[in-house]
Every structure is written in structure tokens, then in C-alpha cells.
Homo-oligomer: A and B are copies of this chain.
């Protein structure tokens, strides 16, 4: 099984991430798109990961993590999210600035340093985007959530997480005082012609673009 390379870790993490919030199996082409690489490159790495016992894969079929692959994936996710949390809480980064840095450091820091960060931060349960941080055993505490883009008018809930994929949207949301933990009520659901409208606890109204609504998850 050897020890995994940065590239392998990113494959596993991305496969895991695909099913973290929606129960869909990921295909090689989708994985390639998420990683920004050619599908043929995925085929090669998939063979190696399957040979290492980290992935189930029948040719032309979808990709599934084995128990060992799941462990490896959550370990990387834990690193990523703890690093993001540390960057925001200790190093003065904003939540829209941490993703790229964590994308690199997650492959570099030692277990020793990871533990030191975890202890220093008081074993945080969530990262700056609201994503749950797996514990040292890989256990993840996930709350039922629905995508804001799919919420119906009248739905009330707390923002549980906001995907960290798009920095610009994160900055806009921060300007609008919307972040993990924010309470909100859907005034008008998203439609083809209308943006989504929500009301904040102080009565203020906010309109959210479809792109933003696709990144925000609220409690059910």
C-alpha cells in the first residue's frame, strides 16, 4: 500500500467530497473535471489506487472508496479543514483565502504538527466554511442539510455550510453578513426567473444568485 502521494491524496479526497453531501457515485469523467485533469489520467491513477486497495472499480464503472480508502480520504479532509481553521483563527486569513493554502499544506504537515494545531484550536468540530472536521479516527458528525437552491418558501434554518470552492461568492456573502451559523428564512424560492430571497434575523432581506444558492446548505 505504501504511503500515498499528494496526487493520490487529492483523488481520494475529491472522491470522498463528491458523496459527502449528496449520495451520488462519482464517475471517472466527473472526477477528471473536478481535478482539472484529463480523463485518461484518472484511469491510470484509479488503477493504482484500486491495486493499493483504496478503491473499488470495475472497468467502465463508477468509483467507490474501500474502507481503507475512506479512512485515507477522511484523514486528508481532516488535515485540510484543520489547516483552514488554523489559518483563520490564528493567522489572520479570511475564510475566502484559505482554500488554496490548505490544498497544498494538507499534503505537507506531519501528524505531530496536525495534532499540535488540533490541540491549540481546542479540537474544533467545524472549519471556517461550516464543514465538519473528522476526528482523529475518521468519524464525521454530519447534520442533515438541504441545499438552499432547493429550499421552498417559508423554510427556516441555520446555514450549516458554504462550499469553499468560489472565493468571490464567499466574499460577497461575508459582505451580506451570511456565514455558517447564520439563521435565515426563505422568502421566495429560487426559480428560473427569480433570484432566491431570504430574510435575516434582524429583518433584513437579501437576494442570492443561483450560483450562491447552489453553494449554501441549511439545516433541514
Measuring CB to CB, which residues of chain A are less than 8 angstroms from any residue of chain B?
87, 90-93, 97, 100-101, 104-105, 107-110, 112-113, 116-117, 120
Chain B residues, Cβ within 8 Å of A108: 104-105, 107-108
Query: B113 near A101 (CB under 8 angstroms)?
Result: yes
Chain B residues, Cβ within 8 Å of A91: 113, 116-117, 120
**Cα–Cα distance between A90 and B121 once the two chains are bound (Å):** 12
Q: Which residue of B lies closest to A105 (CB)?
A: B108
Query: B104 near A92 (CB under 8 angstroms)?
Result: no
**Cα–Cα distance between A126 and B110 once the two chains are bound (Å):** 24
Chain B residues, Cβ within 8 Å of A116: 91-93
Q: How far is the CB of A178 from chain B (nearest CB, A)?
A: 25
- 8 Å CB contact of A105 from B97, B100, B109: B109
Chain B residues, Cβ within 8 Å of A93: 112-113, 116
Chain B residues, Cβ within 8 Å of A104: 108-110
Q: How far is the CB of A3 from chain B (nearest CB, A)?
A: 13
Query: B110 near A101 (CB under 8 angstroms)?
Result: yes
**Cα–Cα distance between A101 and B114 once the two chains are bound (Å):** 11
Q: Which residue of B lies closest to A106 (CB)?
A: B108
**Cα–Cα distance between A93 and B112 once the two chains are bound (Å):** 9
Q: How far is the CB of A7 from chain B (nearest CB, A)?
A: 14
**Cα–Cα distance between A105 and B109 once the two chains are bound (Å):** 7
Q: Which 8 A-B pairs have the closest CB atoms?
A: A108-B108, A91-B116, A104-B108, A101-B110, A105-B108, A92-B116, A101-B113, A91-B113
**Cα–Cα distance between A109 and B107 once the two chains are bound (Å):** 11
Chain B residues, Cβ within 8 Å of A107: 108
**Cα–Cα distance between A206 and B107 once the two chains are bound (Å):** 42
**Cα–Cα distance between A100 and B90 once the two chains are bound (Å):** 23
